[in-house]
Amino acid sequence: MTPGVDVLVVGSGGSGAPLAARLSEDPSRRVLLVEAGPAPRTVSGFPRELLDGGTVAGAVPGHPDNWALGALLAPGRPYSIALGRILGGSTTINGSYFERAREADFAAWAANGSPAWSPERVLPLQRRLEHDTDFGSTPTHGDAGPMPVRRASLQHPAADAFAAASAEWGAPAEPDKNDSTTSGFGPVPQNLIDGVRWNTGIAYLLPAIDRPNLEIRGEVLVTRVLMEAGRAIGVEALVAGRPDTLFAEEVVLCAGAFGSPALLLRSGIGPADELRALGIEAVVDAPGVGTAFGDHPQLVLEWRPRRELPHPTGGWMAGALNLDAGAGGDGVDLEVLQSLLPMTALTTGMAAPDAPLPFLVSVHTPVNQGRIRLTSADPVDPPRIDYGYLRTGADRARLRRAARVTAELLASSAFRAVSEGLLEPEPGVLADDRALDDWVAARLGTSIHACGTAPFGPADDAASVVDEAGRVHGATGLRVADTSILPTAPRRGPAATAVLIGELVADAMRSGG
C-alpha cells in the first residue's frame, strides 16, 4: 500500500478550510486537502467577480466555479442549486451573510446527547474564529480570528425606511445579530473587507499555504471512500480527470450537505436496502444518510422605489428583520432580508435605473422533509435532491405568513416614503389563501442552507449518522465535518456555523476526541 497522509480532508469550503488549517498547526500531523475545483494560491488568483462582495455572480448557473445541481423543491417546481467549486467552496460565491445560529439551536442540538454543541461550549470557538471589526474583543466576540465580521451599513434611504417600518410594525431593535437574546431588526453581519468577499480559503488557507505539513491540491474530484474491514483507508478520485487513489490514516468529508452524503452512499454507508438495489455493497447500514434534511424556503418580493436611489457601498445587503416563532402568535420563524440592489444587478452587476428592489423572505422554522438519493452506482451521476417543500398545510401556511408580513411592512407609512408599493402578489391574492398558495408554488425558491443529511447524535439513535465530533457511527477513521452533520438548519443562515463546525471538529481531533 502506498504510504498516506495522517488526515485527508475532502473539500475546502466553509468547514474544510478551517479544519485543514487548524489541524496543520500541529507540525507533526501531515494534512492533505483536496478540492474538486481550482485552488488559487493568492488572493489575486481568484476571479474578480468572486471577490466582489457587491454581487453573487459566482452563484449563477453556468459559472465555471460552481456546481449547479438539479433539485425538486416541490411538485412541479424544479430548481438549480449553486454550490462553490473552488478554494473556499460556497463561501466564495455566497452572499457573505455571516450570522451565528441562535442560542436555542445550540441548546436543542446539545440536548440530543451532544454536549459539545451547548451554547457555553461553542462560544470560545465562535470568538476564536472571528475578527469582529465592530465590537472587537468582548466576552462574546473575538478580534483576532481569521474571519472578518462587519455589519452592513444602514446609511441608505431604503435601509433607513426598512428600519423605520420594522419599528412601526413593532419589532425590537437588534443591533448585534451575533449576540442577542431577542430577534428583531438590525444590520446583517458580513464577512467582507472593503467590499471584498473574504472566503475561508483566503482567511484560513492562504496564510497556512507554505506549511510543510499541509498540501492543498485542486482539481481532485473524490468519487468514493475506500473502506477495508470497516475502516476508511483513503479515497478514490479523479485527479485532473484521471483515476487515482489517495491513502490516509483518517478521512474527513467536508464536501457539503449534498456532496458528503452522496460520498457516504457511494462508499456503502447509508440505508442498506437502497444501496443494495443500486448494486452497492452496504458497509454500514446508516438509515439517516440523506433521508431527512432541512433548508429555508424562500420567496422574493419586489417593490418599486419612488425615485432613483443611490448605489449601495460595501455590499448588497443592509438590514434584516428576524421574527422568532410565536411573534404575533403564528409559530413561524421568519427572516425578511433587504437587498439594496435589483436581482439582475446581484447576478450580472447591471440593472435598469428604475428596476425594482427585492426582499428575500425565508421561513427559518426548523423542518426536515428533504431527501437525497443516488440515481445509480456511477460515481459521477448527480444525486436526486427532493426538498419536500409545500408537502403539508403547515408548510403552505408558513409561506403565506412570510408573504403577508412583508406586504405589511411595505404598506407601513415609513416605507411608503420611498416605495410605490409591492409589485406582487396583488391585494386580492394576498387576502385569499388558495390564490396565495398558487402564487407561492409558482415562485418558490430556497436559501441553499441545507443541513441534516448526515446528522450527529447518539450511536443508538437510528437517525444519527455521526457523533458530535463528526465520527461516522459504525466506521473507523472516517468523519464528516460540514453542515451535513447539523440535525436541523439553524434559525439563521448556516455560513458562520459551517466555519464553527470546522473549528469544533479540528479541536476534537487535536485533543484526541
Tell me the three state secondary structure of residue 92: helix
Catalytic residue of the set 63, 296, 364, 449: 449
CA distance 504 to 125: 7
pLDDT more than 70, % of the chain? 98
Pair 274, 158 in one domain: no
322 and 460 inside one domain: no
Which pLDDT score, from 0 to 100, does residue 4 have? 85
C-alpha to C-alpha distance for 513 and 509, rounded to whole angstroms: 5
Same domain, 437 and 466: no
Q: Which residue, of 423, 443, 463, is where some domain finishes?
A: 443
Confidence of residue 327 (pLDDT cuts 50, 70, 90): low
Report whether pLDDT(15) > 80.
yes
Q: What are phi and psi of 36, to 5 degrees?
A: -70, -30
User: Are residues 108 and 11 part of one domain?
Assistant: yes
Say whether both 118 and 244 belong to one domain: yes
Domain boundary residue among 426, 443, 460? 443
Residue 337: all three cell numbers together: 432580508
**Confidence at residue 328, expressed as pLDDT on a 0 to 100 scale:** 59
Q: Is residue 376 part of a domain?
A: no
Instruction: Give pLDDT, residue 3.
Output: 67
Is 473 among the catalytic positions? Answer: no
156-194 pLDDT, tens per residue? 999 999 999 999 999 999 999 999 778 999 999 999 999
Maximum CA extent, the chain? 72
Query: What are the phi and psi torsion angles at 220 (to 5°)?
Result: -120, 105
222 shares a domain with 261: yes
CB half-sphere exposure, 249, CA atoms < 13 A: 7
For the residues 257-261, what does the mean pLDDT come to? 98
Predicted confidence band of residue 352 (pLDDT cuts 50, 70, 90): confident
Please give the mean pLDDT across all residues of the chain: 95
Range of the domain at 460: 1-54+83-148+197-292+450-513
CATH of the domain at 470: 3.50.50.60
| pLDDT value, residue 335 | 97
CATH of the domain at 313: 3.30.410.40
Cis upstream peptide for 40 (omega within 30°): no
Assign 3-state DSSP to the chain and report helix, strand, coil percentages, each to 5.
30, 25, 45
> What does the pLDDT read at residue 336?
97
**496 found inside a domain:** yes
Both 127 and 217 in one domain: the answer is: yes
First to last CA, the chain: 27
Q: What is the pLDDT of residues 418-451, one digit of tens each?
A: 999 999 999 999 999 999 999 999 999 999 999 9
Segment 201-216 mean pLDDT? 98
- 124 and 214 assigned to the same domain: yes
21 and 168, same domain (yes or no) = no
**Does the pLDDT at position 1 exceed 70?**
no
**2 pLDDT higher than 70:** no
Tell me the residue type at 277.
Answer: A
At residue 321, the pLDDT reads: 97
- Report CA dihedral (246, 247, 252, 255) to the nearest 10 degrees: 10
Residue-by-residue DSSP string for 237-298: EEETTEEEEEEEEEEEE-SHHHHHHHHHHHTTEE-HHHHHHTT---SEE-TTTTSSEE--EE
| 428 and 496 part of one domain | no
Same domain, 90 and 170: no
pTM: 0.97
Q: In this predicted structure, what is the pLDDT of residue 180?
A: 77
Which helix or strand (DSSP H or E) is residue 372 part of?
strand 368-373
pLDDT at 217: 97
Whether residue 126 has pLDDT greater than 70? yes
Considering the domain architecture, whether residues 342 and 485 belong to the same structural domain is answered as: no
* Cβ atoms within 10 Å, residue 243: 9
The domain total for the chain is 2
The mean per-residue pLDDT over the stretch 221-230 comes to: 97
Tell whether 318 is covered by a domain. Answer: yes
